[in-house]
């Protein structure tokens, strides 16, 4: 059977917004007010710039790290590539038993979620924070059914 690409997806960059919303904002506001006051009194805004700099620098780095990982579904297997060609994992569709969905608190509204794949009766792998997880899970389920049917046809 020739292996064909069905769908490919990546982690969602919108996850960064969800992560920033999890930060205890009252603490952050306190730090910003404290360092702003400290800066006005001492004419030294280094603390305020440091706090803001952490957010400005961390967002693009996190976004780049999210986009390095690729989730590919073929008619034969699921493949996860994490940057380098030698850092690839795959799972044959005939081993898959169940595909489910989970959404973080803001995931549904922002269009990202987790796809949970149970395989070999007692093992589980979770593909976290995927863009449009429903479409990916639906395609896995359909491809899994076709792969299992083809396996039965070839062995039956």
| Domains defined along the chain, listed by start | 5-12+68-155 (2.30.29.30), 15-63 (no CATH)
User: Cβ neighbours of residue 88 under 8 Å, at least 6 residues apart?
Assistant: 79, 80, 81, 82
> Which runs of E-coded beta strand occur in 1-154?
5-10, 69-74, 77-82, 88-92, 96-102, 112-119, 123-131
Contact 71, 83 (CB under 8 A): no
Name which of 139, 140, 137 is nearest 113 in CA terms. Answer: 137
Q: pLDDT per residue over 81-133, tens digit each?
A: 876 667 788 999 999 999 999 998 888 888 889 999 999 999 999 998 898 99
Across 113-122, b (16+ Cβ under 10 Å) vs e yields: bbbbbbbeee
Q: What is the pLDDT of residues 36-76, one digit of tens each?
A: 888 888 888 887 787 777 777 777 776 676 667 888 999 99
* DSSP-assigned letter for residue 34: H
């Amino acid at each position: 059977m020739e292996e064909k690409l069905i769908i490919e997806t990546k982690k969602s960059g919108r996850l960064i917004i969800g992560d920033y919303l999890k930060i205890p904002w009252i603490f952050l506001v306190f730090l910003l007010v404290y360092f702003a006051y400290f800066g006005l009194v001492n004419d030294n805004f280094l603390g305020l710039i440091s706090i803001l700099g952490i957010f400005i620098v961390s967002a693009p780095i996190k976004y780049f790290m999210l986009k390095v990982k690729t989730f590919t579904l073929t008619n034969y297997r699921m493949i996860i590539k994490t940057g380098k060609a030698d850092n690839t994992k795959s799972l044959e569709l005939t081993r898959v038993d169940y595909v489910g969905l989970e959404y973080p608190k803001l995931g549904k509204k922002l269009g990202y979620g987790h796809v949970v794949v149970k395989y070999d009766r007692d093992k589980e792998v979770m593909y976290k924070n995927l863009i449009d997880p429903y479409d990916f899970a639906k395609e896995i389920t359909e491809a899994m059914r076709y792969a299992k049917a083809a396996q039965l046809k070839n062995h039956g």
